[in-house]
Amino acid sequence: MVTKAVIPAAGLGTRFLPATKATPKEMLPVVDRPAIQYVVEEAVAAGLTDVLMITGRSKRALEDHFDRAVELELALEAKGDPARLAAVRETNEMAQVHYVRQGDPKGLGHAVLVAAGHVGHEPFAVLLGDDLIDPRDPLLSTMVEVQQREGGSVVALMEVPHEAISLYGCAAVEGAGDVVRIHGLVEKPPVDEAPSDLAVIGRYVLSPTVFDVLRRTPPGRGGEIQLTDALATLIATEPVHGVVFRGRRYDTGDRLDYLKAVVRLASERDDLGPELLAWLREWLPQQP
Ligand code: G1P
């Protein structure tokens, strides 16, 4: 059974400074919800209601967001605003959220290793907050099914333009189709050395044996302990499968992609979309 989700959220968010000087990047709003809330909702939708966030300094706002906000609730109750009251309550009822600090920022692999004590001996999911997956295109629940059927570990893959592959972990795979066996993984390879155009996107369902491997994994690309390197080692002893995602993914990791994500998601909302699209249609032709 997979019941636990680990969400690394200790990054400094340097690409969004100065917005992220005092606010965690995970709290930047995507339309009207902080980015991290979409990720927790995705975990919950896949049946994972035990969420462990790996945080660091200046991340208190994350804890406050998933906690009760008694004063705010009382104020909304007094005002008679049940819709907003429900929205405020929802975030602390949706999951059991736990927190542990990473301490030294030694990379994604290290962040996952910090979860070892909480996770124990069951397979578990890892969700990276920079990737948002559209709830209409389920991915994590499929990955959990594949892990239960095949054992070992499962990573989410997505075909990306060839020249973009060096921004991602890259998988060498056997077979075609929606579920593939992975026989090689390399973190951010130069374009001309990439074994495929299949990028690792930030969803994993991992065997707990990954922790032993992570303890032995030396720093890799960027001097950081890389989860990709640990998974590449794991392939020698356990199956690692890829679920090829062909749905809608929104990148919130840098400013331009973040803006695109906000516009795309807002355009599709019943309450905001029609007016936003009408304005965009009027405004765009006026631009040089
Ligand atoms: C991380 C992983 C990388 C993966 C990417 C997905 O990189 O190390 O393998 O492809 O997330 O978003 P980051 O984007 O944090 O540098």
Q: How many CB atoms lie within 10 A of CB 165?
A: 23
Share of the chain above pLDDT 70, in %: 100
| pLDDT attached to residue 278 | 97
- Is the pTM higher than 0.85? yes
Give dist(CA 30, CA 257) in Å, integer.
11
Q: Is the model's pLDDT at 288 over the cut of 90?
A: no
Pocket residue to mutate for ligand 1, from 102, 130, 153, 155, most atoms within 8 A of Cβ? 130
CATH superfamily of 4-253: Spore Coat Polysaccharide Biosynthesis Protein SpsA; Chain A (3.90.550.10)
> Alpha-carbon dihedral of residues 253, 259, 260, 266, nearest 10 degrees?
120
Domains of the chain, residue spans: 4-253, 255-288
Q: Which of 257, 89, 85 is nearest to 167 (CA)?
A: 257
| pLDDT attached to residue 274 | 98
Task: Give the phi and the psi of residue 156 in degrees, each rounded to 5.
Answer: -85, 135
Helix, strand or coil, per DSSP, at residue 28: coil
Q: Which of 61, 63, 69 is nearest to 90 (CA)?
A: 69
Q: Is the model's pLDDT at 105 over the cut of 90?
A: no
Pocket residue to mutate for ligand 1, from 128, 182, 210, most atoms within 8 A of Cβ? 128
CA of 169 to the centre of ligand 1 (A): 6
Tens-digit pLDDT profile for residues 191-219: 999 999 999 999 999 999 999 999 999 99
What integer is the mean pLDDT of 168-187?
A: 95
Pick the residue whose CA is nearest to atom 10 on ligand 1: 168
Tell me the residue type at 63. Answer: E
Instruction: Find the residues whose C-beta lies inside 6 A of ligand 1.
Output: 108, 128, 130-131, 168-169, 187, 199-202, 226-228, 253
Tens-digit pLDDT profile for residues 116-131: 999 999 999 999 999 9
CA of 153 to the centre of ligand 1 (A): 17
Tens-digit pLDDT profile for residues 144-154: 999 999 999 99
Give dist(CA 2, CA 49) in Å, integer.
10
Residue whose tokens read 């969803």: 203
| pLDDT attached to residue 244 | 97
